[in-house]
Amino acid sequence: MEKKPRVFIVEDHQLFREGLKAMLSKREDIDIVGEAEDGLEAVRGIRKATPDLVLLDLSMPKMGGISVMKEVKRELPETRILALTIHESDQYVLEAFKAGADGYCIKDASRKELMLAVDSLLEGKTYISPGISDGVMEGYLTGRKTLKENSRWDTVTQREREVLKLLAEGYTNKDIAGFLHISVKTVEKHRANLIGKLDLHNIAQLTAFAIENGLVETRK
């Protein structure tokens, strides 16, 4: 008997996550092996479940989708990742594929489109929502286009981005140290580096910058 593809769902909005799970559960050729509602929980769950495919929201609490992708691809390079997001801009698309995404699907896609994306990735293909411009992916695939990011942002390391995200979400240095398995002193060092690189001197400024650069979503 042929083994069914194993799918893991990462989405912080409960209704949307349950909707994805309900849609996929109707398919007898897929096994849902786990779900997570924040980035840190996702990395732990994916590591344990070793799925064939991860459906991953890019805007996640505690650890963003880009960071999750990098962790998963580093440990489980064969696992396919479909980025699910509301963002259609060049920056998000290119950053996702650079981090290891195998597909990119906009959240307002139809059920038919989502299933096409899932099947494409399980067949070893790449999938990009029709709403994404051809020019963006041509630039990525040929290596001729780079992210148009703020020059200050370019100097911020991936670990510093993770710390910035957690600071902007209101976590203390001690909380962040626990989440990222580093010392409080290391968190303080990353925080000092952020202040120096970004010339932002309080939590309000750091939070505003994190929101502006897509690390943190404003909730209605």
What confidence score (pLDDT) does residue 144 get?
Answer: 41
Q: What is the pLDDT of residue 217?
A: 64
Could you tell me which residues come within 8 angstroms of residue 183 by beta carbon, excluding any fewer than 6 positions away? Answer: 177
Helix axes 134-142, 90-99, angle to 10 degrees: 40
The rounded distance, in Å, linking the Cα atoms of 127 and 120 is: 6
> Which pTM was predicted?
0.69
For position 92, what pLDDT does the model report?
A: 75
SS3 214: coil
Q: What is the dihedral of CA 46, 50, 55, 58, to 10 degrees?
A: 40
pLDDT at 151: 59
Domains of the chain: 6-142 (3.40.50.2300), 151-212 (1.10.10.10)
Sign for the CA dihedral angle at 202, 203, 208, 210 comes to positive
What span, in angstroms and rounded, lies between the C-alpha atoms of 163 and 63?
Answer: 9
pLDDT at 120: 93
Q: For residue 166, give the 3-state DSSP assignment.
A: helix
Q: How far is CA 24 from CA 16, 27, 90, 116, 168, in A?
A: 12, 6, 29, 12, 34
Per-residue confidence in pLDDT tens, the chain, 220 aa: 568 899 999 998 888 899 999 999 988 899 999 999 998 899 999 999 999 999 999 888 888 888 899 889 989 999 999 999 887 666 778 788 888 899 998 888 888 999 999 999 999 998 888 867 555 555 555 554 444 444 577 778 888 888 888 888 888 899 988 888 889 999 999 888 888 888 887 788 888 888 777 777 655 4
The pLDDT value given to residue 95: 81
